[in-house]
Structure 1
């Protein structure tokens, strides 16, 4: 196992009714709040009213930034920074899924920055002072509620880039599984695929001695497989929603990657797809995953697919190893199909027109992938296999 420094400072309030701590927690850090949220679902399901009622009772001033898009735009971040500066905001509260939370994180980092906030996305080393952030999660997917990362899109430059800084980790996050009851089936499916992809990115590593991390990773994958379909079929199943919500946080808060060599690649490729076509992130990840699996399967990586097949999909360990690997890949594809996730780029009306540019973007900082390093041509090949 590799050496590491452990830090997961976000305080989690998990369970039904935990919004009751909101006012108390915010007042530890500030009294003027920017409320960041998305397309309006929190107004339809009553969460918005609950938040405002609590903040008004605690005499906490509120400014708002609504209509944050999926694949959040840098323009929304810029607008949020402007609101904060004009109103002397000293706390950011994101209510929603990963898009709202990611937007809030970069706003928090941008308020004190003298240049254009996009520069912080391109080079997070420029991040210095960050306003404190809290979140109320309404979608189990990105895990942004418990990490310091954010992904922001720039439509003008056709870039979707990940950024991150320890200071961007939320101070607290409220995780009430009942807040995910109204999530549509397609978003629940995409969120499940997103969680699984976060695990795949760190599980498929050649650090062979991280036994504990790999077993935890497998348990999260099995949780998604067990409860993904349940949540889609019975949206108000608390057990399913609770397990998916906690899996979302644990998949990317660092526990699985501490002590391992990692270099993400599925996300790097999907970010290019989203930058050019603005597709649902989890759907793009699911489409790319199976062709990526097939592309990286070889004699050197076979052992990892055998672990995956036996420990996650309960495939007979006595079968020939390549048979186990191919069955594991097939079962992954079939699971995504059972969630009604599109399994090819053609289903999204995406052609190979921009593959070369997208591949260049995916490897702009060098090869991607850890257990098998991918160059520009490799990325093009995987995209072609995803058609």
Structure 2
């Protein structure tokens, strides 16, 4: 087990009708806030009215910036930065899923920086301070409600990059599973894929003697896969929705990664796909994770056999661990198919036109990943495996 320091100060307010506490929680972090959200869904559902009433009742002044896209754009981040500065905003309230929260984090960090917000994502500058952030979560997926990470797309060059710091963890996250009842099945499935992928990035590690977090990862994966068909077949099943929502938080609040070095290659590989083609991040991960697994499993076939056994109940063949490992990967693909996810690039009409470009951009700062260090040619071959 690796040395670690773990700290997560995000306060979770979980359960039915908890959005009515938005004003009460927000006034603890700011008197004038930027209300940041995506499209019109929060207005159609009535959530917008409940939140703004709660803010008003608590004496919190707010101004709005909507329009966050599923792959949030740096252009809107820049707009948010200027708005926060000109209006002297002292906090941000993000209402939505991971894209809205990520956009809010990027705005929060850049408000105090004299340069361009994109500099954080290219490594030209580093985190120093940020506006405090609160969250009302509507989409269980990215886990951004308790993480310190953010991912943003720059249409100038079709780049999608991540940056993070513990100081960007939201101060609070309001989580009402009822708010997810009306999510389309495809969006729900993308979210489920995203949270499983966050666990995979931590599970496939070269760190040894990590049984505690191995078991936590495996148990969370089994829970997600057990509850997935329930939320897709019974949209108003509160208990199943609650399990999925909290699992998404656990998957990315870093508690599953303590004492181990995560990989994160597949996220980098997928970011190049959604950066160019603007597909749902979860769909891209459903395609790329099995391909990555097929490419690297021989590096530690024992761990992949353990994954197959503990997550999918595949009997371990001690005479042929490779067979067991491959059965586990096949089971994962079958799970993704069962929830309506693509598992091949061809299914989302992506050909090999940009493979070279994507592989180059994914590795332009050096090899990616920690489980296996991947060079440009490796990434290219993984794209080919996913075709």
Report TM bin, short chain.
Answer: over 0.9
Alignment partners' CA distance in 1, 2:214 and 2:125: 30
Q: In the alignment, what sits opposite 1:222? A: 222
Which residue of 2 is the match for residue 104 of structure 1?
A: 104
Inter-partner Cα distance in structure 1 for 2:382 and 2:344: 12
- Alignment map for 1:5-84 (pairs within 5 Å): 5-84=5-84
Instruction: Give unpaired runs (5+ residues) of structure 2.
Output: none
**Contact 1:337/1:343 (CA < 8 Å) preserved in 2?**
yes
CA distance in 2, matches of 1:127, 1:360: 27
Q: What secondary structure, in the 3-state scheme, does the structure 2 residue paired with 1:43 have?
A: helix
- Once residues 18 and 125 of structure 1 are traced to their aligned partners in structure 2, the CA distance between those partners, rounded to angstroms, is 37
Deviation at 1:297, TM superposition (A): 1.8
Give, in angstroms, the shift of residue 341 of structure 1: 0.9
Deviation at 1:354, TM superposition (A): 1.0
Question: 2:302 aligns to what?
Answer: 303
Cα distance in structure 2, aligned partners of 1:116 and 1:123? 12
Residue aligned with 1:113, SS? coil
Does residue 182 (structure 1) correspond to residue 182 (structure 2)? The answer is yes
> Counterpart of 1:126 in 2: which secondary structure?
coil
Count of residues paired in the alignment: 386
Distance in 2 separating the partners of 1:355 and 1:56: 50
Q: Show structure 1 runs of 5+ residues with no match.
A: none
* More moved, 24-33 vs 212-221: 24-33
8 Å contact from structure 1 (residues 124, 164) kept in 2: no
C-alpha displacement of 1:318: 4.7
- CA deviations 1:268-290 (Å, max 9, x no partner) are 00000011111100000000111
More displaced stretch, 264-273 vs 347-356: 347-356
Structure-2 residue corresponding to 1:317: 316
Question: Would you say the 8 A contact 2:204–2:263 is kept in 1?
Answer: no
Output the TM-score relative to the length of structure 1: 0.97
1:259 is matched with: 259
Q: CA deviation at 1:75?
A: 0.6
Instruction: Indicate the larger mover: 320-329 or 179-188.
Output: 320-329
RMSD: 1.2
CA distance in 2, matches of 1:107, 1:42: 21
Q: For the residues of structure 2 that align with 1:50 and 1:126, how far apart are their CA atoms? A: 37
Give SS of 2:145's match. helix
Structure 2 CA distance for aligned equivalents of residues 23 and 34 of structure 1: 13
Deviations 1:116-144 (A, max 9, x none): 11112222852222000000100111000
Instruction: Give the equivalent residue in structure 1 for 2:120.
Output: 120
Distance 2:29 2:203 in 1: 36
Contact 2:21 2:54 in 1 (8 A): no
The 5-angstrom pairing of residues 160-239 of structure 1 reads: 160-239=160-239
For residues 304 and 195 of structure 1, what CA distance do their matches in structure 2 show?
Answer: 20
**TM-score, length basis structure 2:** 0.97
CA contact (8 A) 1:204 1:370 kept: no
SS in 2 for 1:89: coil
Contact 2:272 2:358 in 1 (8 A): yes
> 2:341 is paired with a residue of what secondary structure?
coil
Shift of 1:150: 0.2
Residue 36 of structure 1 deviates from its aligned partner by: 0.6
Change (3 A) 1:125 1:307: farther
